[in-house]
Amino acid sequence: MKDVFLWPLLLIWLIKAVISDPQTNLLDRDCSPSISTDVSGYLSNRNNTFKDLRGQLLKNNTKFATAEQYGVYALVQCRDYLSDADCLACFDAAVSLSLNCLSDGTARVIFEGCYLRYEGEDFYKVATLPGNTWKCSPNQSSIKENLIDPVVKGLLRDLEIATPKTNGFFAAATRRIHASGTDSTIYAVAQCAQTVSQRVCRNCLSVANRNIQNCPPQAGGSSVDAGCFLRYSDVPFFPKNATTDITPFLRASSSTKSRISLCVVGGVCIFLLILALMLWYRLFRKTAKRGVISGLINYDYKDLKSATKNFCEEYKVGEGGFGDVYKGVLEKGHVVAVKKLATSSSKVKENFESEIKLTSEVNHRNIIRLLGYSRKGPELLLVFEYMENGSLDKFLYGEERGTLSWKQRFDIIFGIARGLAYLHEEFHTSIIHRDIKSSNILLDVDYHPKIADFGLARLIAEDQSHFTTGFAGTLGYTAPEYAIHGHLSEKVDTYAYGVVVLEIISGGQSVNMKTDSVTDPLLAHAWKLYADGMHLDLVDETLNPDEYSTETVKKIIELALMCTQSPTSTRPTMSKVVASLTNISSVEHISQSKPTWSSYQHLQSLQEDGEQFALKGIQT
């Protein structure tokens, strides 16, 4: 008889188990690999933050928690519509996946149902980072395209506006499609991390919304960033009672309307005055600034001239084929790098603003940031963020040789790979750098690498197509197919990256520019050592052997050589390089597929014959 009363309870438990869904479909995973020999202290602190987060979720029945343990900051946030049990299950799955990172730095795991992030510094106020991404359903919606597309876009736009105004930065909404015999519903949610400001939330969702516009008419899509989430679907993924009434957040309040009415009345009164001023501006201020590029500062030439002490030699921090670079100290003490472009071409000046507009949109932690420009003076000027430690080459074979530890070198190798992967595959337009080399890798105060001069070869080269004879490269780093035949692809950068990695490991220069001979460059030497099974002889003797694993170094050397193989199809993509560096044991043994050594002799003969060979470069 007792068993009869247990059956309803068992049935309820089974139903609950069936409908339980922690929504652990992976949307994004990002982590920095660990290469330190002793990270136990960091990992212990990280694991303690995980325990703290889980305890908060379990004890407080909350969907959001932060924790900090001796320099390790962590955050977890579940979608508000998840049950407490599903939230906990989603968190556990995220923790399990983040442990695979073996990271002593940063990690992000984003599922459809929750989000986990930890770093070695306070990140709570940041929502938008490079690498924001989206994922669309593989299936096209059964709803007609002309019906689903405007409804999805309208609903997501409303969520973008309303969510930053809600308590907790979360909103779930639906919109019905009832037309032409179709009776369907679109479901969507938006969420920001509770630690960010309303403005940061709004900006993050704006980026996420732009990205997810790539999905309709697919059945669903998700867009994620470091601190926000946006998702839609033509099937329900949250319960009806989780829906938010976003209408109040979309319409202006009565007081706001009153203020608007007063402004309109006042605006009518001064309309004629404004019109007169506009006419005066057009007639008598023809020298006013024009072509201001969104997000960039249009500097006055004389201000930059003053900031660099009239471009004096003392302030010069680099020089090369694209132009000289100067340290600039602006009025408020802000330090910048000012590059004088070495060109007098009318075509370059004509394309200047359109090209740097593209450059201004690039946003990645491992790519130098363009702050502004000046085109009104005698030279075209670009203004970049200032890198305190200058260029990588001086730390490899220059005056600072031997000062970089193995961990710093590995972080630089990894950072360059991430920056190139972003330019090639993650930015909305594929950008080929064309001139990757150690002097074009800049180091900030913490020795984090940033790629410089991206986009400048594209601006200055005479032909901007992917098949070009307008050569922009540097001897020793240039892929054979580009140097000899002008064949340009992303694999040209991959080749140069492989050479730079060999320089970082060896502390040697790709080609000794002080001699006339280029018959045995660093790359050829590395291939010979590899063929003899002696590639560890390449390692810089200034490195402390206790700092690195010999197996790790061997794998990285092999990966670098793989990047220089011929034909180009045998070279990995930069995203594959990033994945290999994240899990270095996955690097496979490579076949003897060497590059064409004759290309170096060919380039040398071009110089000797006096033909044009552009040794483009910069050392900022």
Task: Give the pLDDT score at 126.
Answer: 85
CB–CB of 15/87 below 8 Å? no
Backbone angles phi, psi at 430, to 5 degrees: -65, 125
CB–CB of 518/478 below 8 Å? no
Question: Angle, nearest 10°, between helix axes 406-421 and 490-506?
Answer: 180
Positions of the chain with pLDDT under 70:
1-20, 32-39, 102-105, 130-131, 180, 252-269, 271-295, 320-322, 342-351, 354-355, 455-473, 512-520, 591-620
What's the CA gap between 361 and 373, in Å, rounded?
A: 14
* The two structure tokens encoding residue 549: 């694993």
CATH number of 136-248: 3.30.430.20
To which residue do tokens 């170096």 refer? 600
| Extents of the domains making up the chain | 18-119, 136-248, 391-608
Task: Give the pLDDT score at 614.
Answer: 36
Q: Quick one: 509 exposed, middle or buried, by C-beta within 10 A (0-12, 13-18, 19+)?
A: middle
Task: Give the pLDDT score at 467.
Answer: 32
User: Residues with Cβ < 8 Å from 252, sequence gap 6 or more?
Assistant: 260
* The two structure tokens encoding residue 531: 């063929």
Quick check: is 80 catalytic? no
Query: What are 26's strand-pairing partners?
Result: 111
DSSP state letters, 555-582: HHHHHHHHHT-SSGGGSPPHHHHHHHHH
Strands 370-374 and 297-298: parallel
What's the CA gap between 12 and 18, in Å, rounded?
A: 10
**Strand ranges, E, within 153-210:** 170-179, 182-192
* The two structure tokens encoding residue 109: 């795991």
What's the CA gap between 62 and 88, in Å, rounded?
A: 10
User: Residues with Cβ < 8 Å from 200, sequence gap 6 or more?
Assistant: 125, 126, 127, 128, 192, 227
Task: Give the pLDDT score at 62.
Answer: 85
User: Residues with Cβ < 8 Å from 557, sequence gap 6 or more?
Assistant: 501, 502, 505, 526, 530, 535, 536, 538
168: left (phi over 0), alpha (psi -120 to 50) or beta: left
What's the CA gap between 379 and 433, in Å, rounded?
A: 23
Task: Give the pLDDT score at 282.
Answer: 52
Q: HSE on the CB side for 275, CA within 13 Å?
A: 6
* The two structure tokens encoding residue 174: 């639906």
Single out the residue of 471, 543, 474, 472 nearest to residue 506, CA to CA. Answer: 543
Residue 255's SS3 state is helix
Question: Angle, nearest 10°, between helix axes 40-60 and 84-99?
Answer: 170
Neighbouring CB atoms inside 10 A of 343's CB total 17
Question: Angle, nearest 10°, between helix axes 406-421 and 574-582?
Answer: 140
537-570 pLDDT, tens digit each: 999 999 999 999 999 999 999 999 999 998 899 9
Report H helices in 61-144: 84-99
Residue of 435, 453, 493, 540 with catalytic role: 435
What's the CA gap between 373 and 158, in Å, rounded?
A: 36
Same CATH fold, 136-248 and 18-119?
yes
Task: Give the pLDDT score at 358.
Answer: 77
User: For the whole model, what pTM was predicted?
Assistant: 0.56
Q: HSE on the CB side for 384, CA within 13 Å?
A: 31
CATH classification for the domain delimited by 18-119, as one of 3.30.430.20, 3.20.20.370, 3.60.10.10, 1.10.150.120: 3.30.430.20
What's the CA gap between 33 and 45, in Å, rounded?
A: 17
* The two structure tokens encoding residue 75: 């955050």
CA distances from 450 to 324, 396, 441, 518 (A): 18, 16, 6, 28
Neighbour order of strands in the sheet with 335-341 = 297-298, 370-374, 381-385, 335-341, 323-329, 316-318
CATH number of 391-608: 1.10.510.10
What's the CA gap between 277 and 373, in Å, rounded?
A: 28
Task: Give the pLDDT score at 606.
Answer: 45
